[in-house]
Amino acid sequence: MTSTESATDRRIVAAGALFGAGIAASMIDLFIFHLWLQWHHFYDRSTPHVGLVADGFFHAFGWFITIAGLFLLADVRRRGEVRWSRWTGAVLAGIGGFQLLDGVLNHKILRIHQIRYGVDLLLYDAVWIGTAIALLVAGLITLRFTRPARPR
């Protein structure tokens, strides 16, 4: 693989990972759990107003990295052909990686972003973190099997 092909491959993976993390942050977490179900805010250790402001920043961050991933993907497409299976693996890894980071760091360690309040969290945590691990592993396996061949 030439250095140009290697750089293109890294850009495809970065584009997919950014897009996946952004989708996890904006679409899955924010739209479903914050807005639709209204289970929590990104930062719950203050007033509801502060929680809504924190959601706004969280939403902006999620869309920023989603759009950054799409711009990077557009640049890769402009320069040549996109290996869509490789990009899809990176998207899955990005979704799973973001969800795992959020579930472990924000929910469990920092405790600033709980899934629900007033209920036993074991089932919620198991589903959230289990799904994150499954998506991350699926993405990493896909990336492994779609890795460009190295010349011998």
> Is there a contact between 15 and 86 (Cβ–Cβ < 8 Å)?
no
How many of the other CB atoms lie within 10 Å of CB of 50? 14
pLDDT at 63 over 90: yes
pLDDT band at 135 (very low <50, low <70, confident <90, very high): very high
CA distance 142 to 96: 13
Question: What is the mean pLDDT of the segment spanning 46-75?
Answer: 89
Angle, helices 3-23/84-101, rounded to nearest 10 degrees: 50
What are the extents of the domains in the chain?
8-145
Taking the alpha carbons at both ends of the chain, their separation in whole angstroms is 10
